[in-house]
Amino acid sequence: MNYNTNIRERVDERTEARVNTLVRSVYFWMCTALLMTGATATLVAGNSVLLETILTNRILFFGIIIAQFGLVWAIVGKVNSFSLPVLSGLFMLYSVLTGVTLSILFVRYTSASIASTFFITAGTFAVMSVYGYFTKTDLTKMGNMLGMALIGIVIASVVNIFMQSSAMYWIISYVGVAVFTGLIAYDTQKIKALAYEEDNEHTQKLALCGALSLYLDFINLFIMLLRILGDRK
Protein backbone atom coordinates (compact mmCIF):
# COMPACT_ATOMS: atom_id res chain seq x y z
CA MET A 1 0.00 0.00 0.00
CA ASN A 2 2.74 2.42 0.94
CA TYR A 3 4.72 1.34 -2.11
CA ASN A 4 1.83 2.19 -4.47
CA THR A 5 1.24 5.48 -2.68
CA ASN A 6 4.89 6.43 -3.08
CA ILE A 7 4.73 5.62 -6.79
CA ARG A 8 1.65 7.81 -7.24
CA GLU A 9 3.32 10.63 -5.33
CA ARG A 10 6.43 10.41 -7.50
CA VAL A 11 4.32 10.36 -10.67
CA ASP A 12 2.32 13.37 -9.44
CA GLU A 13 5.53 15.23 -8.64
CA ARG A 14 6.95 14.54 -12.10
CA THR A 15 3.67 15.60 -13.71
CA GLU A 16 3.55 18.85 -11.76
CA ALA A 17 7.19 19.55 -12.60
CA ARG A 18 6.47 18.97 -16.30
CA VAL A 19 3.41 21.22 -16.16
CA ASN A 20 5.33 24.00 -14.41
CA THR A 21 8.17 23.76 -16.94
CA LEU A 22 5.82 23.89 -19.91
CA VAL A 23 3.77 26.77 -18.51
CA ARG A 24 6.96 28.74 -17.81
CA SER A 25 7.97 28.10 -21.42
CA VAL A 26 4.65 29.52 -22.64
CA TYR A 27 5.07 32.73 -20.67
CA PHE A 28 8.73 32.97 -21.66
CA TRP A 29 7.84 32.93 -25.36
CA MET A 30 4.95 35.33 -24.83
CA CYS A 31 7.05 37.83 -22.86
CA THR A 32 9.92 37.55 -25.33
CA ALA A 33 7.53 38.31 -28.18
CA LEU A 34 6.08 41.29 -26.32
CA LEU A 35 9.58 42.66 -25.67
CA MET A 36 10.47 42.32 -29.35
CA THR A 37 7.21 44.00 -30.35
CA GLY A 38 7.76 46.89 -27.95
CA ALA A 39 11.39 47.35 -28.98
CA THR A 40 10.50 47.28 -32.68
CA ALA A 41 7.63 49.74 -32.25
CA THR A 42 9.86 52.13 -30.31
CA LEU A 43 12.70 51.92 -32.85
CA VAL A 44 10.41 52.46 -35.84
CA ALA A 45 8.56 55.32 -34.13
CA GLY A 46 11.91 56.97 -33.39
CA ASN A 47 13.00 56.80 -37.03
CA SER A 48 11.08 59.45 -38.94
CA VAL A 49 12.09 58.06 -42.34
CA LEU A 50 10.86 54.54 -41.56
CA LEU A 51 7.69 55.80 -39.93
CA GLU A 52 6.85 58.08 -42.84
CA THR A 53 7.49 55.24 -45.28
CA ILE A 54 5.07 52.96 -43.45
CA LEU A 55 2.41 55.67 -43.15
CA THR A 56 2.60 56.84 -46.77
CA ASN A 57 3.23 53.56 -48.60
CA ARG A 58 -0.10 51.72 -48.54
CA ILE A 59 1.26 48.74 -50.47
CA LEU A 60 3.99 48.25 -47.88
CA PHE A 61 1.64 48.71 -44.93
CA PHE A 62 -1.01 46.29 -46.17
CA GLY A 63 1.74 43.92 -47.29
CA ILE A 64 2.92 43.76 -43.67
CA ILE A 65 -0.67 43.16 -42.48
CA ILE A 66 -1.11 40.31 -44.96
CA ALA A 67 2.26 38.86 -43.92
CA GLN A 68 1.10 38.89 -40.28
CA PHE A 69 -2.06 36.93 -41.15
CA GLY A 70 0.06 34.53 -43.17
CA LEU A 71 2.45 33.94 -40.27
CA VAL A 72 -0.39 33.23 -37.82
CA TRP A 73 -1.86 30.77 -40.32
CA ALA A 74 1.55 29.14 -40.78
CA ILE A 75 2.15 28.79 -37.04
CA VAL A 76 -1.30 27.46 -36.15
CA GLY A 77 -2.22 25.66 -39.36
CA LYS A 78 1.16 24.03 -40.02
CA VAL A 79 2.11 23.22 -36.43
CA ASN A 80 2.61 19.55 -37.34
CA SER A 81 4.67 20.28 -40.45
CA PHE A 82 7.29 22.65 -39.05
CA SER A 83 9.94 21.91 -36.45
CA LEU A 84 9.89 23.71 -33.11
CA PRO A 85 12.84 26.02 -34.04
CA VAL A 86 11.07 27.04 -37.26
CA LEU A 87 7.82 27.76 -35.42
CA SER A 88 9.74 29.78 -32.82
CA GLY A 89 11.40 31.80 -35.57
CA LEU A 90 8.06 32.49 -37.25
CA PHE A 91 6.61 33.62 -33.92
CA MET A 92 9.48 36.05 -33.37
CA LEU A 93 9.15 37.36 -36.93
CA TYR A 94 5.45 37.91 -36.34
CA SER A 95 6.18 39.85 -33.14
CA VAL A 96 8.59 42.11 -35.04
CA LEU A 97 6.06 42.81 -37.81
CA THR A 98 3.44 43.55 -35.16
CA GLY A 99 5.84 46.07 -33.65
CA VAL A 100 6.18 47.73 -37.05
CA THR A 101 2.41 48.15 -37.42
CA LEU A 102 1.95 49.25 -33.80
CA SER A 103 4.54 52.01 -34.27
CA ILE A 104 1.79 54.17 -35.78
CA LEU A 105 0.24 54.34 -32.30
CA PHE A 106 3.08 56.68 -31.33
CA VAL A 107 1.77 59.10 -33.96
CA ARG A 108 -1.81 58.99 -32.68
CA TYR A 109 -1.31 58.79 -28.91
CA THR A 110 0.98 60.40 -26.35
CA SER A 111 3.87 58.33 -25.01
CA ALA A 112 2.59 58.76 -21.45
CA SER A 113 -0.85 57.33 -22.29
CA ILE A 114 0.73 54.43 -24.20
CA ALA A 115 2.90 53.60 -21.19
CA SER A 116 0.06 53.87 -18.65
CA THR A 117 -2.27 51.78 -20.82
CA PHE A 118 0.45 49.14 -21.17
CA PHE A 119 0.73 48.79 -17.41
CA ILE A 120 -3.06 48.62 -17.06
CA THR A 121 -3.11 45.91 -19.70
CA ALA A 122 -0.30 44.01 -17.96
CA GLY A 123 -2.14 44.16 -14.63
CA THR A 124 -5.41 42.99 -16.17
CA PHE A 125 -3.60 40.20 -17.99
CA ALA A 126 -1.89 39.02 -14.80
CA VAL A 127 -5.16 38.91 -12.83
CA MET A 128 -7.11 37.07 -15.52
CA SER A 129 -4.30 34.65 -16.28
CA VAL A 130 -3.95 33.74 -12.60
CA TYR A 131 -7.72 33.25 -12.45
CA GLY A 132 -7.70 31.03 -15.52
CA TYR A 133 -4.85 28.95 -14.12
CA PHE A 134 -6.29 28.31 -10.66
CA THR A 135 -10.06 28.33 -11.19
CA LYS A 136 -11.86 25.00 -10.94
CA THR A 137 -14.65 26.24 -13.21
CA ASP A 138 -14.65 24.86 -16.75
CA LEU A 139 -14.35 27.89 -19.03
CA THR A 140 -14.99 25.98 -22.27
CA LYS A 141 -18.51 27.32 -22.80
CA MET A 142 -17.35 30.85 -22.05
CA GLY A 143 -14.51 30.39 -24.51
CA ASN A 144 -16.90 29.29 -27.25
CA MET A 145 -19.11 32.34 -26.69
CA LEU A 146 -16.11 34.66 -26.64
CA GLY A 147 -14.89 33.09 -29.86
CA MET A 148 -18.18 33.90 -31.58
CA ALA A 149 -18.08 37.42 -30.13
CA LEU A 150 -14.56 37.82 -31.52
CA ILE A 151 -15.80 36.92 -35.00
CA GLY A 152 -18.49 39.56 -34.56
CA ILE A 153 -15.86 42.15 -33.59
CA VAL A 154 -13.79 41.36 -36.67
CA ILE A 155 -16.80 41.66 -38.99
CA ALA A 156 -17.98 44.88 -37.31
CA SER A 157 -14.47 46.35 -37.56
CA VAL A 158 -14.29 45.62 -41.28
CA VAL A 159 -17.76 47.11 -41.84
CA ASN A 160 -16.83 50.20 -39.84
CA ILE A 161 -13.85 50.86 -42.10
CA PHE A 162 -16.43 51.92 -44.70
CA MET A 163 -19.10 53.29 -42.36
CA GLN A 164 -16.76 55.34 -40.18
CA SER A 165 -19.33 55.26 -37.38
CA SER A 166 -18.14 56.80 -34.12
CA ALA A 167 -20.79 54.90 -32.13
CA MET A 168 -19.73 51.55 -33.60
CA TYR A 169 -16.09 52.44 -32.94
CA TRP A 170 -16.77 52.81 -29.22
CA ILE A 171 -19.02 49.75 -29.06
CA ILE A 172 -16.31 47.63 -30.68
CA SER A 173 -13.72 49.03 -28.25
CA TYR A 174 -15.70 48.29 -25.08
CA VAL A 175 -16.91 44.89 -26.26
CA GLY A 176 -13.36 44.12 -27.35
CA VAL A 177 -12.04 44.81 -23.85
CA ALA A 178 -14.56 42.38 -22.38
CA VAL A 179 -13.88 39.70 -24.99
CA PHE A 180 -10.09 39.75 -24.78
CA THR A 181 -10.15 39.95 -20.99
CA GLY A 182 -12.23 36.77 -20.92
CA LEU A 183 -10.08 35.08 -23.56
CA ILE A 184 -6.99 35.53 -21.39
CA ALA A 185 -8.57 33.38 -18.66
CA TYR A 186 -9.90 30.83 -21.16
CA ASP A 187 -6.63 30.46 -23.08
CA THR A 188 -4.66 30.15 -19.84
CA GLN A 189 -6.89 27.30 -18.66
CA LYS A 190 -6.59 25.61 -22.06
CA ILE A 191 -2.79 25.83 -21.92
CA LYS A 192 -2.72 24.37 -18.42
CA ALA A 193 -4.86 21.43 -19.58
CA LEU A 194 -2.50 20.92 -22.51
CA ALA A 195 0.47 20.83 -20.18
CA TYR A 196 -0.85 17.68 -18.50
CA GLU A 197 -0.53 15.75 -21.74
CA GLU A 198 2.56 13.73 -22.60
CA ASP A 199 5.66 15.89 -22.73
CA ASN A 200 7.00 15.65 -26.28
CA GLU A 201 7.89 17.96 -29.16
CA HIS A 202 4.29 18.09 -30.37
CA THR A 203 3.14 19.31 -26.97
CA GLN A 204 5.94 21.89 -26.99
CA LYS A 205 4.73 23.09 -30.39
CA LEU A 206 1.18 23.43 -29.11
CA ALA A 207 2.54 25.29 -26.09
CA LEU A 208 4.13 27.78 -28.47
CA CYS A 209 0.74 28.16 -30.17
CA GLY A 210 -0.67 28.80 -26.70
CA ALA A 211 1.93 31.51 -26.18
CA LEU A 212 0.82 33.05 -29.48
CA SER A 213 -2.80 33.01 -28.27
CA LEU A 214 -1.93 34.82 -25.04
CA TYR A 215 0.27 37.24 -26.96
CA LEU A 216 -2.62 38.10 -29.29
CA ASP A 217 -4.97 38.48 -26.32
CA PHE A 218 -2.54 40.91 -24.69
CA ILE A 219 -1.90 42.97 -27.84
CA ASN A 220 -5.58 43.27 -28.74
CA LEU A 221 -6.59 44.12 -25.17
CA PHE A 222 -3.90 46.81 -25.16
CA ILE A 223 -5.20 48.30 -28.42
CA MET A 224 -8.82 48.30 -27.21
CA LEU A 225 -7.89 49.91 -23.89
CA LEU A 226 -5.75 52.48 -25.67
CA ARG A 227 -8.74 53.45 -27.79
CA ILE A 228 -10.67 54.14 -24.61
CA LEU A 229 -8.01 55.49 -22.25
CA GLY A 230 -5.39 56.92 -24.62
CA ASP A 231 -4.77 60.64 -24.97
CA ARG A 232 -4.59 61.58 -28.64
CA LYS A 233 -1.98 64.01 -29.87
> Which class for 149: exposed (0-12), middle (13-18), buried (19 or more C-beta within 10 A)?
middle
> Which class for 27: exposed (0-12), middle (13-18), buried (19 or more C-beta within 10 A)?
middle
Domain boundaries, position 91: 2-229
- Domain count of the chain? 1
What is the spatial distance between Cα 47 and Cα 44, in angstroms, rounded to a whole number? 5
**pLDDT score, position 149:** 94
What digits encode the pLDDT tens for the residues 93-151?
999 999 999 999 988 899 999 999 999 999 999 999 999 999 999 999 999 999 999 99
What is the spatial distance between Cα 4 and Cα 167, in angstroms, rounded to a whole number? 64
Residues 6+ apart with CB under 8 A from 209: 75, 76, 79
Residue 4 has pLDDT above 50, yes or no: no
H helices of 47-165, in order, are 48-56, 58-77, 84-102, 105-108, 111-134, 140-163
Please compute the mean of the pLDDT values over residues 185-199 and round it to a whole number.
81
Between 194 and 216, the more confident residue is 216
172: left (phi over 0), alpha (psi -120 to 50) or beta: alpha
CB count in 10 Å sphere of residue 100? 22
The pTM is what? 0.89
Cβ proximity of 136 and 173 under 8 Å: no
Please compute the mean of the pLDDT values over residues 33-37 and round it to a whole number.
96
Residues 6+ apart with CB under 8 A from 157: 172
For all residues of the chain together, what is the average pLDDT? 88
What digits encode the pLDDT tens for the residues 68-81?
999 999 998 888 88
Please compute the mean of the pLDDT values over residues 172-190 and round it to a whole number.
95
Which residue type sits at 92?
M
**pLDDT score, position 167:** 92
